[in-house]
A and B are shown apart, each in its own frame.
Chain A
Amino acid sequence: MLTTGLRFLEALATPHGVDRYLELIHPMLTVRELRGEVTSVHRTTRDTVTLTIRPTRRWQGFTAGQFVRVSVDIDGVRRTRCYSPATSQHRDGHFELTVKAHESGLVSRWLHANARPGLVLGLSQAEGEFTLPADRPDKILLISGGSGITPVLSMLRTLSDEDYQGTVTFLHYAYTEADVPCLEQLRDLAADKLVLAYTDAAGGDLEGFFDETHLRKAAPWFAEAQTYLCGPPGLMKGVRDVFADLGVSDRLHTEDFAPTPITVDAADATGDVTFARSHRTAPNSGATLLEQAEAAGLKPEHGCRMGICFSCTRVKTEGCVRDVRNGALSTDPDDEIQLCVSVPVGDVAIDL
């Protein structure tokens, strides 16, 4: 019924689509595109902001631990970043994101400064494999640090909504008590399951960086548990090392937030170029991606070969490229680039 009606409307709205008209009345009226409206904004620590989001009807819900891609327009350019809902997966109709403002971060700082009720964000459906098994384990250890709290907090809240009867411990690392987002709520929810570790202050359940002693104090039963970990690179490494030493790496499940930093010089031809769709990888020769693709035996669509016709535009899924015309770097994942005027800087993957 609805789809026939919608198809009729689409035939009237061709070639632009119904959403392009509806969004002019209100950005949340879209029928095909997924969006979310910020309904409330809380700042529970100095450098984080917590947003409650009401998604449009297309939203299919999420599983605790997954993330959504959030898009905002900053100075005219749409920027997309991943954020993990921190609420229980069982609360329908809305979810919460907690975003930490990174000192030199573009989107996180913008959200921290500008998010207000009524702001409409672009959303993707939830994605990601960092989730609890449907058959809940008897013992669960959740470890997080800093903004990595979000996916595991969602797991904790989900388990609580399910009246989970097993053993769970929530071990969280922060600089000081003032840096723990949603602390009040956490205490209300699970004071007995909470282990707070402060790296830069006293007064927590634990002090300093993660080590085996921390692990044994917080969850002596860790060897029988499934552990879920998300946090800054230092913490991730610390936990991985300890779990490896103890021979329980197979019980550790992790999620990385931070992208691998670009360390190579833009002028050096290093790394590998991956053409993901055609399953081909070749060492970066330093030539333009169009030339490298052709050298790899591919025949990408192109026209002018000089950057004016946009025939060769493709999505760069990973890595960094340099525009040969002006040296501008593209570092964001899923950025559209023109193959004929882009050279790879280090490892690059192209959707080709």
Chain B
Amino acid sequence: MTVTKLPKLSKAQFDSLGRELDDLRQRVIDDLGEADRKYIYDVVKVQRTLEVMGRGLLFAGFFPPAWVLGVTALSVSKILDNMEIGHNVMHGQYDWMRDPALNSKMFDWDTVAPAENWKHSHNYIHHTYTNILGKDRDIGYGILRMDEGQKWNPYYLGNPVYAFLLMAFFQWGVMLHDMETERLISGEKKWSETKAVRQRMWQKGVKQTLKDYVLFPALTGPMFLTTLAGNATANLVRNVWAFSIIFCGHFPSGVQTFTEEETANESRGEWYYRQMLGSANITGGPLFHIMSGNLSHQIEHHLFPDIPARRYPQIAPEVRAICEKYGLPYNTGGFSKQLASVFTKIVRLALPDSFWGRPSGPPAGTVGKGRAMRAA
């Protein structure tokens, strides 16, 4: 465990931290309106236009530049659909608009992971129990060792390989994540309890596969194979991008993890505190922020998962100032720096901590029950 000392706040400080952040949230909520609606509809319009263009260009896929352009447009469309639109809409960020087309209960995204399953594991489990070892199942997605608090065993020698596979097949990984395999293996959950989840996976998986790998290729007739390859490439590009952004959100060095004991009976202020210390931002320009679904503002997102993402860059300076005021770190860095830090961690944690000259096993008191990763 990176033994940076956690800045401890007094109860009064926690309370005033909670109040300041509640205030900030309220100010944004009071200001929501037409501009936010227009923004998300503009993004939707760009995404759908790119999608139609991309699919259209693949009809001319025999001509390499058309194929490359088509795949690029389709990749960007899928990234926008999943990140700036899907992820954020499904968080309820636009529920205040009362528009069924952009409502968290109704929306589904262009990936094989069914909205319904994902919302449970992401919105509830991950966002409520962020970075609590044993509770936040996003730590390593149940297959990777991403924290010293996860006890090493030989299975983890494959950490870099698993990470590479997860990156390439990320949409399937996210889909299977909701099966909670590690809880099935440990016996915490029965196979029969996964029935609804499995049914949704099957239905969504079939529809998505049919669309990308049968119908659209067939429509292009003799170009069947090039279209299929194009669609597969677009899915791959989206997978690699989404994986990279998401892993930069919680796993660069300096991001804190917590134990169940530490976080029992948290106050609002303490909850905010954990969200801030458990997340990391990525710096970049406006286009980068949009393409990352504004998850480049992971800190702001974890504080206020339900306010429209376009507001995160706007409030970031204020959040940062609050961090400074309370002496809390505000973890941010360039994309390559954060990504390098994540990959270093993946490789480092493949080997036992003793290899790196650290005491093996987690420091006392950091291992909760029902750990995210049991021997796989």
In whole Å, how far is A276's beta carbon from the nearest beta carbon of chain B?
Answer: 18
The answer on a CB contact under 8 Å between B37 and A14 is: no
Contacts of A293-352 to chain B: CB distance below 8 A: 303-304, 306-311, 313, 325-326, 335-336
Q: Which residues of B contact A311 (CB under 8 A)?
A: 119-120, 123-124
In whole Å, how far is A323's beta carbon from the nearest beta carbon of chain B?
Answer: 10
Q: Say yes or no: is A11 at the interface (Cβ < 8 Å to chain B).
A: yes
| Count of residues in A whose CB is under 8 Å from the partner chain | 29
Q: Say yes or no: is A251 at the interface (Cβ < 8 Å to chain B).
A: no
Partner of A12, one of B108, B119, B216: B216
Q: Say yes or no: is A92 at the interface (Cβ < 8 Å to chain B).
A: no
The answer on a CB contact under 8 Å between A76 and B32 is: yes
The answer on a CB contact under 8 Å between B97 and A308 is: no
Partner of B29, one of A15, A326, A336: A326
Given contacts A20-B48, A76-B32, A78-B98, are A11 and B215 in contact (CB under 8 A)?
yes
Q: Which residues of B contact A24 (CB under 8 A)?
A: 44-45, 48-49
Partner of A308, one of B22, B95, B128, B211: B128
Q: Say yes or no: is A21 at the interface (Cβ < 8 Å to chain B).
A: yes
Q: Which residues of A contact B124 (CB under 8 A)?
A: 303-304, 309, 311
The answer on a CB contact under 8 Å between B99 and A336 is: no
The answer on a CB contact under 8 Å between B97 and A77 is: yes
Q: Say yes or no: is A184 at the interface (Cβ < 8 Å to chain B).
A: no
A303 to B121, CA, bound (A): 10
Q: Which residues of A contact B35 (CB under 8 A)?
A: 76
| Count of residues in B whose CB is under 8 Å from the partner chain | 48
A14 to B215, CA, bound (A): 11
Contacts of B88-112 to chain A: CB distance below 8 A: 91-92, 95-99, 101, 103-105, 108-110
The answer on a CB contact under 8 Å between A310 and B104 is: yes
Q: Which residues of A contact B26 (CB under 8 A)?
A: 326
Could you give, for residues 60-96 of chain A, a 1 whenever the CB lies within 8 Å of some chain B CB and a 0 otherwise? 0000000000000101111110000000000000000
Choose, from B181-189, B202-210, B335-343, the stretch at the interface: B202-210
Max chain A Cβ within 10 angstroms of own Cβ: one of B98, B127, B207, B215: B98
The answer on a CB contact under 8 Å between A12 and B33 is: no
The answer on a CB contact under 8 Å between A12 and B211 is: yes
A77 to B97, CA, bound (A): 4
A14 to B107, CA, bound (A): 11
Given contacts A77-B97, A310-B306, are A304 and B211 in contact (CB under 8 A)?
no
The answer on a CB contact under 8 Å between B95 and A309 is: no
The answer on a CB contact under 8 Å between B306 and A308 is: yes
Q: Which residues of B contact A75 (CB under 8 A)?
A: 33-34
A325 to B26, CA, bound (A): 9
Q: Which residues of A contact B92 (CB under 8 A)?
A: 309-310, 313
A14 to B112, CA, bound (A): 11
Q: Which residues of B contact A309 (CB under 8 A)?
A: 92, 119, 123-124, 127-128, 305
In whole Å, how far is B133's beta carbon from the nearest beta carbon of chain A?
Answer: 19
Partner of B95, one of A11, A14, A15, A313: A313
Could you give, for residues 1-42 of chain B, a 1 whenever the CB lies within 8 Å of some chain A CB and a 0 otherwise? 000000000000000000000100010010011111110000
The answer on a CB contact under 8 Å between B98 and A308 is: no
Q: Which residues of A contact B32 (CB under 8 A)?
A: 76
The answer on a CB contact under 8 Å between A21 and B52 is: yes
Q: Which residues of B contact A8 (CB under 8 A)?
A: 215
Q: Which residue of B lies closest to A75 (CB)?
A: B33
In whole Å, how far is B73's beta carbon from the nearest beta carbon of chain A?
Answer: 15
The answer on a CB contact under 8 Å between B215 and A12 is: yes
Partner of B123, one of A11, A77, A308, A335: A308
The answer on a CB contact under 8 Å between B99 and A78 is: yes
A313 to B120, CA, bound (A): 13
A77 to B29, CA, bound (A): 12
A21 to B52, CA, bound (A): 9
In whole Å, how far is A28's beta carbon from the nearest beta carbon of chain B?
Answer: 15
The answer on a CB contact under 8 Å between A308 and B127 is: yes
A309 to B38, CA, bound (A): 24
Q: Which residue of A lies closest to B98 (CB)?
A: A78
Q: Which residue of A lies closest to B40 (CB)?
A: A76
A12 to B218, CA, bound (A): 11
The answer on a CB contact under 8 Å between A15 and B207 is: yes
Q: Which residues of A contact B127 (CB under 8 A)?
A: 304, 308-309
Q: Which residues of B contact A20 (CB under 8 A)?
A: 44, 48, 101
Q: Which residues of B contact A78 (CB under 8 A)?
A: 97-99
Q: Which residues of A contact B120 (CB under 8 A)?
A: 303, 311
A315 to B96, CA, bound (A): 13
Contacts of B310-360 to chain A: CB distance below 8 A: none
* Given contact pairs A304-B127, A309-B127, A310-B119, a sample of 20 additional A-B residue pairs in the complex whose CB atoms are under 8 Å apart: A11-B211, A12-B211, A14-B211, A15-B207, A15-B208, A75-B33, A76-B36, A80-B98, A303-B120, A304-B128, A308-B123, A309-B92, A309-B124, A310-B92, A310-B306, A311-B119, A311-B123, A311-B124, A313-B105, A326-B26
Measuring CB to CB, which residues of chain A are less than 8 angstroms from any residue of chain B? 8, 11-12, 14-16, 20-21, 24, 73, 75-80, 303-304, 306-311, 313, 325-326, 335-336
Closest 10 A-B residue pairs measured CB to CB?
Answer: A303-B124, A310-B92, A76-B37, A15-B108, A309-B123, A78-B98, A304-B128, A309-B124, A76-B33, A75-B33
Q: List 5 A-B contacts (CB under 8 A).
A: A15-B207, A76-B97, A306-B271, A309-B128, A335-B98
